[in-house]
Amino acid sequence: MTTTLHPTPTTTPPTAVPRNDGFSVVRSDTSLGYNLPQRMGRRLWLPMFAMALTGWAVGFILAIVEAGTDRSDVDDLQTLGHLVPAFMFIGFLGVFAAITFAVARILGEFRKGGGEVQEAAEAPVETLKMPTTAKAMLGFMMMAMMVMAAGIATNFVAAGAFDGTNAADIIDSARYGAVGAGLRRLGVVTYLAGITCGLATIIEVLRFQAIRIREVAASLGQRH
Amino acid sequence: MSRYRTVGLALAVIGLMGATASVIGNFVAGSGIDVDNTYQETLAWTFGLSIFSFGLVKIGIALVLMGIIVVRLWFRVDAIKTSLVSLHGHGGAPGVARGDLKTAWGKATVTDMPPRLLPIHRLARFMWRPMLAMGAMALSTGLVASWVWADKTPGTESFRQAAAFTQGVEFLGETLLLSGIAFLSGTILAGLREGGGEVQSSLGLPVTTLKMPATAKAFVALMMMGMMAGIVQFVLYLGQLTNADDPASFASWANWLGPLRELALGLILAGIALALVTIGNVLAFQFDRVKSLIRTGA
């Protein structure tokens, strides 16, 4: 299936219509197709997934090298001690982004498919406006990516800056390690919170679509 | 408003707060480490709290997925089934031949009756509950163990023993929780397969079902590998625990056990990503099928 970054054309612009069941929707003649985050999700989940596998492979190989390094070689141990978590968390950054994009992709299928089903039934197409939970998912994902990237960068800086030649150097390295771990973990939990919001959006979309298809059937009645 | 959704989101917020508290602890340690104080005790409890908090958010995710499966997925099936009775067209479309066919979303099969669930679907439906329960128990044990770890004197054998046990059991808990989430994703796929068949057969039509795609096969393989690696890392941490009297050997074990436990979680997460991609493809296929039923009746 091909993907496009161009929005699906509609004959008339979508207009907000009031509903008495609490859903905020827009009405249009045709399906609205995917929105921008959903198109990004369709494009980007696979590159992120590949990045995850690459990060873990590099990190795990470096960990094996680290385990085999002489305990007196403090310089190499200190460098590898920062590089290993940096690469492992490049992997986590990739996989959490891939999961978030995959959730956005599912939401895209609901938006596009739900609209097309209404269109096929020759009914006005009603599409949910982006719910708060979906906006929260995007916000959390962007924050998570930045925080985790900051943690990874902290480790890369420390890997290049310290050589373990004196006590002050070793202490500074430990400080960077503690801060880097904290940032990486904050990134993980923020990603997880975003994914929870994305999945919660699916519940809302399922509820709306189940109501909407019954409405369409009731309003159009027996077609044949 | 779904109760599953509300409680799931609330747990995510609590987890976020717990992890934030542990991050503050890490920052305090990071700014305070010096020759006299390595803040190892602080880093011990922040580790325990942060991993426990991840677990809370994962339980929140599991609850939201349960809300999708238990309530919404079957509401959707019922709504489509009853609506299609009046909406489906009778356009005189040619009858569909039984057997295999190619679709835009992969290979499909056409049968007279709804297809049975695959063994992996039945396994997923059976396994998600025990996995989540065991994961929650292991994680709680790990949180308590991290307090014991934080109470020990840094540099001692008992400190290292507590470190090994805490890390092993907490990541075992994470592995089990993620496996529970993976099985829940498999249960959603089972529901989509069953529901899709039910809708088509209720209209007296031949049932078109997607065959298991490559992403779903890779999901199963990655999840199983991750689960096994998660159990192995726990056993190896117990092995490291018996080596706690030798600091150099203990450190060498730690060098690769840390990445191994992370790899275990990573493999399951990669599997979950592929399960979600598969769910997206199945939904696209099913929407196309519903459109076709409305337009042509076949």
> Over the stretch A4-43, which tens digit does the pLDDT of each residue have?
455 555 567 889 988 888 899 999 999 999 999 999 999 9
Q: pLDDT at residue B295 above 50?
A: yes
SS3 A49: helix
Q: Is residue A11 part of a domain?
A: no
d(CA A107, CA A219) in angstroms, rounded, equals 26
Burial class (CB in 10 A: 0-12, 13-18, 19+), B86: middle
| Nearest-Cα residue of chain B relative to residue A181 | B26
Q: Is residue A145 part of a domain?
A: yes
pLDDT band at B95 (very low <50, low <70, confident <90, very high): low
- Domain ranges, residue A208: 24-223
In percent, the amount of chain B with pLDDT more than 70 equals 97
What single DSSP character describes residue A25? Answer: E
Q: What is the pLDDT of residue B186?
A: 95
Q: What is the pLDDT of residues A189-204, one digit of tens each?
A: 999 999 999 999 999 9
Burial class (CB in 10 A: 0-12, 13-18, 19+), B214: exposed
> Are A186 and B76 in contact (CB < 8 Å)?
no
B101 touches chain A (CB under 8 A): no
Q: What is the pLDDT of residues B129-160, one digit of tens each?
A: 999 999 999 999 999 999 999 999 988 999 99
Q: What is the pLDDT of residue B70?
A: 80
d(CA A210, CA A44) in angstroms, rounded, equals 29
Mean pLDDT calculated for residue range A120-141 = 95
Q: What is the pLDDT of residue A2?
A: 44
Q: Is residue A14 part of a domain?
A: no
> Are A84 and B255 in contact (CB < 8 Å)?
yes
Q: Is residue A10 part of a domain?
A: no
Beta strands of A120-178 (E only): which ranges? 125-128
> Are A178 and B273 in contact (CB < 8 Å)?
no
Token readout for B212 is 């298991």
d(CA B259, CA B270) in angstroms, rounded, equals 16
Token readout for B285 is 């296929």
Domain count for chain A, please give it.
1
Q: What is the pLDDT of residue A3?
A: 46
Measured between beta carbons, the chain A residues lying within 8 angstroms of B29 are 178
pLDDT band at A224 (very low <50, low <70, confident <90, very high): very low
Q: Is residue A6 part of a domain?
A: no
d(CA B122, CA B117) in angstroms, rounded, equals 7
Q: Is residue A208 part of a domain?
A: yes
Q: What is the pLDDT of residue B120?
A: 92
What single DSSP character describes residue B152? Answer: S
Furthest C-alpha separation in chain B: 85
Other beta carbons within 10 angstroms of residue A165's beta carbon come to 11
Q: What is the pLDDT of residues A89-98, one digit of tens each?
A: 999 999 999 9
SS3 A17: strand
Mean pLDDT calculated for residue range B180-204 = 93
Ramachandran class of B208: left when φ > 0, alpha when ψ lies in -120 to 50, beta otherwise = beta
What single DSSP character describes residue B72? Answer: I
**Phi and psi at residue B60, in whole multiples of 5°?**
-60, -45
Q: What is the pLDDT of residue B266?
A: 96
Q: Is residue A47 part of a domain?
A: yes
| Nearest-Cα residue of chain A relative to residue B80 | A213
Mean pLDDT of chain B: 91
Provide the number of CB pairs (under 8 Å) joining chain A to chain B. Answer: 235
User: What pTM was estimated for this model as a whole?
Assistant: 0.92
Q: Evaluate whether A192 touches B12 at the Cβ level (below 8 Å).
A: yes
